[in-house]
Every structure is written in C-alpha cells, then in structure tokens.
A and B are shown apart, each in its own frame.
Chain A
Amino acid sequence: ETGVTQTPRHLVMGMTNKKSLKCEQHLGHNAMYWYKQSAKKPLELMFVYSLEERVENNSVPSRFSPECPNSSHLFLHLHTLQPEDSALYLCASSPAGVSGDTQYFGPGTRLTVL
C-alpha cells in the first residue's frame, strides 16, 4: 500500500466516548501533521511531528491528544469531545517537515460528535 492512509474513514461518537484516529504513511517521510477541516473555514493545523518529536501544537484543546510512536504512524486520541469538534480530520506527511515542504494528505476521517 502506498501514500497516506487513515482509519476509520467515518466515526460517530458521543461526547463521553474515547476514540482514536490512526494515520499511516508509506512514503518514508520524516514529518507528519494533523489538520482539522470544517465547513467554510481554512484548514487548521493542529499538530506537527518531525522525527517523532512534536514541533508544533497550535493551541489545540487538551481533549485532542496526539501520539507519534514512529515516523510512519500518527494517532489522534479523542476524549470528551464537543459537537463543534465535528469535522474532517486530515493527516499529512512531508519529506523534511520544514515550512512550505510539499505535504501529502490522507483521505481524512469524517468525525461526527453527537
């Protein structure tokens, strides 16, 4: 399998649930990203990992917890979410993790919080 994969593709959860989103890249890249895409808003960068170290955390609420066990895998752990957290969550990877680096996106996880 090639490129960037994300699972699950769709997720519906209640506000008291705990769930995790998974991202895997098969491109040999060193950096991975989580973005949130909501209707009528620009893509919002949430977290950046470079060589498994978190290098950016853009004021994301603590109910979102990222984990990067190695350079090929990235998780987003979710707990006690709010309905306004419903969105498309996109994972991306890039070769070097520098700003402006070409990013390769996964298909996203469509999250609905009830």
Chain B
Amino acid sequence: TQLLEQSPQFLSIQEGENLTVYCNSSSVFSSLQWYRQEPGEGPVLLVTVVTGGEVKKLKRLTFQFGDARKDSSLHITAAQPGDTGLYLCAGETLGNQFYFGTGTSLTVIP
C-alpha cells in the first residue's frame, strides 16, 4: 500500500477536453505539491498547497487541497498536447516525512 495513491494511473484524452486527476491518502499532510514530468526530463514543481480547502490556479490548471488535508485534485481545462506528461503529487506528513505519489500519466492527443 502506497501512502499517496494517484488516480487514474493512465489517462488519454483528446485536445480540448477537461480532466481531473486525484491524489488520495489516509494520512494528513502539512503541505502537498504537484509536479509535472515530461519524457526525458526530471519533475518540475507546479504548485504547493498548505491550507485545507485551498484552491490555486495556474492558467488552465486548478489545484485543490482537501479540507482535511488528506487529498488533492488537479483539474485541467481544455487540455493541450503540451500538457502531456507524468503528474506527481508529493506531500510532507505531520512527522516531516516527504513522499511522492504513484503518478498519473497523461497523454493529450491533437
């Protein structure tokens, strides 16, 4: 069992569609981060959320931290081929341990 489970594991959609990916845990996190990793590259930080219920927007990407700080979601509006990549969540537990999630591999088809 992984501490941070992401779903779906794989997602393939057409350009222009909307999508949501999830990052779930039974543990409480003091902060949670989302990264995107493109093929052949390392992960790049997109956002950090720290407050329960917090919503952050980055252009067409909307990130939400659950009220109980156990889960998070990433919603992409009107997906573009450039959004293709592996989306990773990562969280810091209350015990100051840092874990990465299992990842969601997104493919946006032109």
B7 within 8 A of A: no
Q: Which residue of A lies closest to B102 (CB)?
A: A42
Chain A, residue nearest B37 (CB) = A105
Given contacts A41-B102, A99-B92, contact A92 B97 (CB under 8 A): no
Which chain A residues lie closer than 8 Å to B103 at the CB level?
42
User: Which of chain A's residues 86-114 have a Cβ closer than 8 Å to chain B?
Assistant: 90-92, 98-100, 102-108
Residues in A whose Cβ lies below 8 Å from that of B88: 43
- Which residues of chain A come closer than 8 Å to B43, judged between CB atoms? 43, 90, 105
Q: Are B102 and A45 in contact, CB atoms less than 8 angstroms apart?
A: no
On whether the beta carbons of A45 and B98 are closer than 8 Å, the reply is yes
Partner pick for B99 among A42, A103, A104, CB 8 A cutoff: A42
Answer yes or no: B40 CB below 8 A from chain A CBs. Answer: yes
Q: Is the CB of B97 within 8 A of A4?
A: no
Interface size on A, residues (CB 8 A): 19
- Write the B1-41 contact mask toward A (1 if CB under 8 angstroms, else 0): 01010000100000000000000000000110100000011
User: Given contacts A42-B4, A43-B88, A100-B30, are A108 and B42 in contact (CB under 8 A)?
Assistant: yes
Q: Please name 14 further chain A to chain B contacts, defined as beta carbons within 8 Å, in addition to the given A45-B98, A92-B42, A108-B40, sorted by A numbering.
A: A40-B9, A42-B101, A42-B102, A42-B103, A43-B100, A90-B42, A91-B42, A98-B96, A99-B97, A99-B98, A102-B33, A102-B45, A105-B41, A105-B42
A interface residues, Cβ below 8 angstroms from B: 4, 40-43, 45, 90-92, 98-100, 102-108
Can you report 8 A-B residue pairs in the complex whose CB atoms are below 8 A from each other? A40-B102, A43-B88, A43-B100, A92-B42, A100-B30, A100-B48, A100-B98, A102-B33
